[in-house]
Structure formats: C-alpha cells, structure tokens
Amino acid sequence: MFRCIRGHTVFVEPLRPGAVVVDLGANRGEFSRQMEAIFDARCYVVESNPILAARLEQDGAYTVWKCAVAGSERSVSFHLANNNEASSILELTERSVHSGGVRETVEVEAKTLETLLAEIGCRCVDLVKMDIEGAEVEVLRTVPTSVLRRIGQITAEFHAHEELGFDIRQGIEEVIDRISRC
C-alpha cells in the first residue's frame, strides 16, 4: 500500500514504530512531522537554507543537519529562491520560473549521503526522502552501492520539468536504473 505524505509517495507496509526516516530538504519539517505522527518514526532532518534550518532548530523537535547533500564534500553556492521550496545548489536560470527568482546566494557545506548517514549513526535507514531541488541525480549517481543497500526505500522529487530549468532527464533515468539494479 502506498500513501502520499506531503507530496511524496511512500510504501507504508514496511514502516513500523521507530522507523528511521532521513528527510533531505526538510524545508519547514512538515514531511517529518507527518511521518512522526502517522508512523511514530524517528526523523533526522537536513536543510540547506540557513533561515529554514535555524527555524527548525529553534522549534526543537529535531536535530538539524545544516548542510546541503551532494555528490562530494565541498563548499557549495546555495541559491536562495524567492520561493523557498525552490532554492537549490544548482544554478537557477531564467527558465526556473518556479523559483520566483534568486533572492541571494550563500555558501554552505555539502556532505555526501554516506557521510551524513555516518554522522546520524544509523546503520540502516527505512526511508530517505529527497527533495533537494535537482541535486537528487548527483547524490544518487555517486552514493556507494553499499550505502544504497542499507536504505529500505527512497522517495525522491525529481525536478526535471522544463519550467524548473534543470536539464536532468537523462540523469534521472540513469539513477532509477542504478537503484533498480541495487
């Protein structure tokens, strides 16, 4: 049985109380709050936007990883869009109409999914939610197979629609094929 939670499709059958959920691109934390309320999940939230991360931290419901998730460890330019659900480490172009334009660009630390999971301290993860505005392909292309095999399921919001301005359709097909083989 599948269920839509804050716009993300989740296979609910394997989720039990205490399920480990890693929320990449937590935004305001609504997905994690619903996962906690519905499944009594243990949620770990990651948010790149320093303003949203500070609000999540101030809320005190979760430990917040204030970083981007990318294919390699580095400092990245994070483009804060006027629509905070459209901020990205990818360049927001004129075609990125969903973004409402870039308000400012800040530097943030980027971690790999492997490093992030090690910091969280979870050997196995029941669900990874990825809503990281186009960076999903880079992360899923580079994460080691051994790490993918420790994740029960991934729900990813791929951002390939032309109005978002990211040319990642081919990459999406490649990472879906890679995950299927794992």
Q: Is the pLDDT of residue 85 over 70?
A: yes
CATH number where 113 lies: 3.40.50
Residue 9 inside a domain? The answer is: no
Residue 110 inside a domain? The answer is: yes
Residue 29 inside a domain? The answer is: yes
Residue 145 inside a domain? The answer is: yes
Residue 52 inside a domain? The answer is: yes
Higher local confidence (pLDDT), 95 or 150? 150
| Predicted confidence (pLDDT) per residue in 33-48, tens digit | 999 999 999 999 999 9
pTM of the entire structure?
A: 0.91
Mean pLDDT of the chain: 89
Residue 7 inside a domain? The answer is: no
Total count of domains within the chain: 1
Residue 10 inside a domain? The answer is: no
Give residue 38's domain range.
19-181
3-state secondary structure string across the chain: CEEEECCEEEECCCCCCCCEEEEECCCCCHHHHHHHHHHCCEEEEECCCHHHHHHHHHHCCCCEECCEECCCCEEEEEEEECCHHHCECCCCCCCCHHHCCEEEEEEEEEECHHHHHHHHCCCCEEEEEECCCCCHHHHHHHCCHHHHCCEEEEEECCCCCHHHCCCCHHHHHHHHHHHHHC
Residue 99 inside a domain? The answer is: yes
Mean of pLDDT values over 61-72: 95
| Predicted confidence (pLDDT) per residue in 111-161, tens digit | 999 999 999 998 899 999 999 877 888 999 999 999 999 999 999 987 655
